[in-house]
Chain A
Amino acid sequence: MHIADGVLTLEATLIVSIVSAGILYVGMKRLKEEHIAIAAVCSALFFVASFIHIPFGVTQIHLMLLGVIGLLVGLSGFVSIAIALILQALLMGYGGIASIGVNLFIMGVPIVLVHWLYKTALFQRLNDKVQFFLVGFIGTFFATLFLTVILYFSKAEYETAAMTILGVNSITMIIEGIVSMFLLLFIKKTYPKLLRRNLHA
C-alpha cells in the first residue's frame, strides 16, 4: 500500500501532502497526555504489521490494522502512522521519502473515518463480531479507495492499474476484518476500558 517515489506527479504529491500535514497538526494538538502510550503502541503495531506479507497471486498483501488503530486512538492515530511511515521509508525502504505525505493520507484518513463510523448509532446496533470485522474491513477499504483515486487522477498510464487495485485488495480487506475482529474481541475481553474510553472520546 506504500507508494514509492516517482510514481505520482509533483502536483498530486504536493496537494495531498499539504492536506496530510494539516491533519497531522490537528492530530498532534489533540493527542492527550493519557493517550500517548497507546498511540506509541499503535505506531509500533502498524510498523510491525507491515512486515507480515501474505503472497497472493502475482502480488503480496500485508496487514495494516488501520481500523484497530482508529478505534483505539482516533484522530491521534495520524501521529502514530506518520512516525511509523517516516521510519519505514528512511530505514526499511518502504515507500518513498517524498511520498510520505501521500502515504500518510492514504493510511491515516481511514483511521479517522473508522473512528467516526464506529461511534454512529447504526454501528453500535451491530453485534461485537460484525462491528469489529467491519472496523478492519472498512479501514482497508478506504485506504484502497484513496490509493485508487490518487493513482487514477495522477497519471493516465495508471488508470487501468488503479482499477485493478480495488479487486486485488478485496482479499486484504477480508483478512484485515478477520484479524481485527479477533484482536478487538481479545481487547474487549481483557481490557474493555480501552474501547469504552474511545467510544466516549
Chain B
Amino acid sequence: MRSLILALLLSNSLWAHKINLFITHDKNELQLFSYFASGAPCKECKVIIKHNDETLLEGNLDKEGKFSYVSVYDKLMIIIDGSSGHLVQKEVTLTQIPEKSLEKLVEEEEEGNIFKIFLSLGLIGLFFYGVKRFKSRAK
C-alpha cells in the first residue's frame, strides 16, 4: 500500500509543473509558501536555507506547503526541491522583503495569472489571424 502511495505521489510530480515560491518577512520570522502551477501545495517538499554557501537548515515544508524560520542573517538563499527536477531557488535580503501577508502575495500572483490567461487567448487569436492572412495570400 505504501509503495502504491509513493508511486502515485511520484507519478503526480512528473507532470506537476512549475513551483511557485512566496517569501514574506514578519518580526524576524521568515515565512515561506510554495505551490505548483496547478495550485496544489508543495506538500512536505524539501527546503534548504543557505547563507554564503553554508547550509543553515535542511527540512521539509508542511502539508500546506508552508515553512517558518527565524534567521540571524540578512542575506539568504532559499531552495525548494519538489523532486523529479522541480526546483526553485531564490536569493533574498530580509530587510528588503516587503512586509506583505502570504494571502496578499498569493492574491497578486492570481491576478497576474488571470492577465496571462487573457494575454494567451489574445496571442492564440493573433497567431491564427496571421495563419489566415498567410494562407489567403498564398492562394
List A residues at the B interface (Cβ < 8 Å).
1-7, 28, 31, 33, 36-37, 39-40, 43-44, 47-48, 51, 53, 57-60, 62, 79, 83-84, 87-88, 91-95, 147, 151, 158, 160-165, 168
Contacts and interface: CB of A to CB of B under 8 A. Distances in A.
Given A33-B132, A36-B135, A43-B124, A4 B17 contact: yes
Contacts of A31: 131, 135
Given A31-B131, A58-B5, A59-B11, A93 B18 contact: yes
Contacts, number: 116
B6 to A, nearest CB: 8
A121 to B, nearest CB: 33
A2 B15 contact: yes
Given A33-B136, A39-B128, A92-B116, A57 B8 contact: yes
Interface of B: 3-5, 7-12, 14-18, 20, 37-40, 84-86, 113, 116-117, 119-121, 123-125, 127-128, 131-132, 135-136, 139
Given A87-B123, A168-B11, 16 more contacts: A2-B15, A7-B14, A31-B131, A33-B135, A37-B128, A40-B127, A53-B38, A53-B39, A60-B12, A60-B39, A87-B120, A92-B116, A94-B18, A160-B3, A161-B14, A164-B8
A160 B5 contact: no
A62 B3 CA distance: 25
A152 B30 CA distance: 41
Interface SS of A by simple majority: helix
Given A6-B84, A58-B12, A87-B120, A161 B38 contact: no
Contacts of A40: 124-125, 127-128
Given A36-B131, A94-B37, A151 B85 contact: no
A147 B11 CA distance: 11
B81 to A, nearest CB: 12
Contact of B124 (A5, A33, A87, A161): A87
Given A44-B124, A58-B8, A162-B11, A7 B117 contact: no
B103 to A, nearest CB: 20
A3 B15 contact: yes
25 contacts: A2-B15, A3-B15, A4-B15, A6-B84, A7-B85, A28-B131, A40-B124, A40-B125, A43-B124, A44-B125, A47-B124, A48-B121, A51-B117, A58-B5, A58-B8, A59-B12, A60-B38, A88-B120, A92-B37, A92-B117, A94-B17, A94-B37, A160-B3, A161-B11, A164-B7
A84 B124 CA distance: 7
A100 to B, nearest CB: 13
A79 B4 CA distance: 37
Nearest to A88: B120
Contact of B127 (A3, A7, A83): A83
A164 B84 contact: no
Contacts of B15: 1-4, 7, 95, 147
A92 B85 contact: no
Contacts of B39: 53, 60
A95 B17 contact: yes
Which 3 pairs across A and B sit closest by C-beta, in order of nearness?
A: A93-B18, A6-B85, A40-B128
